[in-house]
Amino acid sequence: MQSFLKKYSIFLMLYIVFQPVLDSITGLMTQAHIDVTFGVLIRMAVMAVTVFYILIFIILNRDNKHGFRIIGYFVLLGIVSAISMFVNYKTKRLFIPSLEITTLAKSLYYPVMLLGYFYAFEELAEDRIINRFFPKVIFIAINIVSAIMIVAHFTNTSFSSYSYYKLGESGWFYAANELSAIVSIAFPIMIWYALKKINSWSKIYYWLTIIIAIYSALLIGTKGSLLAILFGLCMGILAAIIHFIQNKGDRKFAAGIVALLVVTLGGVFAAYPAMAVSRTAELHNDMIKYKKKQAKSKKGITKDQKKYVETNKTVSYLLSGRTVYFENAAHNFAKATPAQKVFGMGYATSFKSEKKAKLVEMDYIDIFFQFGFLGTIVYLAPLVYCLIYLIGMFLMKFKYMWSFKWAMLVASVALGFGMALMTGHVIEAPSVSIYFVSILGYAMLNARIFVRTKEDPYTIDVED
């Protein structure tokens, strides 16, 4: 069984590299109107095996207290989820079993894979095998995403990010928001990997992959990917400046790294007017003006459109109309039964037909409506624990947090939590959560070692 743990831990690392392939196949199948996609089946199968892996790890670890807490949590989560499903089966005006079960299965992906990756990192950290895989697998995966995006762009086979604007591209990936979240969360990790590999100017080619990744991300045309690139580069510049100040050796090289990051950031600002995201901002303002003008005509506008145009212009742009979906979902939740308020209303609260089922697309809010007051507490408990633990460690070890590893890990985790609110499709989307939970699990492993040994685990880093 110990051999199985080692091999499966390595599999979980390599599994990250294959995510873009699964996503592109899923995108092509969805375009072909195939309901059950190849990617979903593979991910659910991996989740099932990961549950077995976790149980074996707990048994062999022989920490009964820890194992009891973990098993107890998943039993509680299973009970809450089952009650929620039963309540909504009895209560919802339209209950579609396949839709509700699929949604629940996707929701359970994050807690299972978060624990699975944390254990995998623990297993591989013992003899530093981890250094051969992480964050290299993230770096390779995003390079594959970039390659697919560029091939699709230059062969004119990309899907549109915004079909109604005919702007932005999502390559052969179906969901632009999910693609944007993937690139956003992983981008700081790419910077960390590239900067650690550039130990001389002869290896500057690593930075070319960053430029290509930026170009690919900006092709998407979403606000989230642009903000993530700016945030990641700014954190990198801050870490590089601190590294320059502390480095009493080759300051010339350190200054060159600072200059490289600053020039890259300047290039993003210079390219902004030509980006799809710049054009979508203009079209958003044009659309608001058109709707307001239409509202005064005899034809008028719908109730949802009226809510949208009356929302603060900046808020409506940043959240892309999610405030309207929130108001509708909140209205349905207010009319829900007490049992639904405690255990949630399942997928998209209440709807008359599947076509009218709308998520808010802000993860924390969707989770609240899906799981209710009690269910949300149980469901988000691992994330809340990780967040509090990492914030506490960050404050306690603040002066150590500005190595490239820690600065980029902090940026990536912060973007994960932030994108879950701003764009959604992070926590409950398996294609995105796999990146988020693996990075979060890696950060937790390093933080726990740091707190336990009182020494920064500098040996767990990019492989030389």
- Helix H, strand E, coil C: the string for 190-204 is HHHHHHHHCCCHHHC
Is the per-residue pLDDT at 443 higher than 90?
yes
- Checking if the pLDDT of 247 tops 90, the result is no
Nearest to 373 by CA among 91, 112, 178, 84: 84
Q: How far apart are CA 291 and CA 276, in angstroms?
A: 22
User: Percent of the chain, pLDDT > 90?
Assistant: 61
> What mean pLDDT comes out for the span 180-185?
94
* pLDDT number for residue 93: 87
Which residue from 434, 441, 380 is spatially nearest to 40, judged by alpha carbons? 434
The answer, yes or no, to whether residue 214 has pLDDT greater than 70, is: yes
Per-residue pLDDT averaged across 195-214, rounded? 92
Q: What is the pLDDT of residues 285-334, one digit of tens each?
A: 655 555 555 555 555 555 555 555 455 555 555 556 677 778 888 888 99
- If you average pLDDT over every residue of the chain, what do you get? 87
Query: How high is the pLDDT of residue 308?
Result: 52
In Å, what is the CA distance from 120 to each residue of 13, 45, 74, 390, 429? Answer: 8, 18, 18, 19, 21
Domain coordinates in residue numbering, the chain: 2-278+374-453
- Say what the pLDDT of residue 161 is: 75
pLDDT in tens, 370-388: 999 999 999 999 999 999 9
CA distance 230 to 183: 13
Averaged pLDDT for residues 241-246: 90
Q: Count Cβ neighbours within 10 Å for each residue of 329-338 and write b for 16 or more, e otherwise.
A: beebbeebee
Residue 185 predicted with pLDDT over 70: yes
State the pairing for strand pair 160-162/167-169: antiparallel
Is the model's pTM score more than 0.95? no
Residue 288 has a pLDDT of 55
52-87: pLDDT as tens digits: 999 999 998 877 788 899 999 999 999 999 999 999
Residues with Cβ within 8 Å of 115's Cβ and at least 6 positions away in sequence, in order, are 54, 70, 382, 441
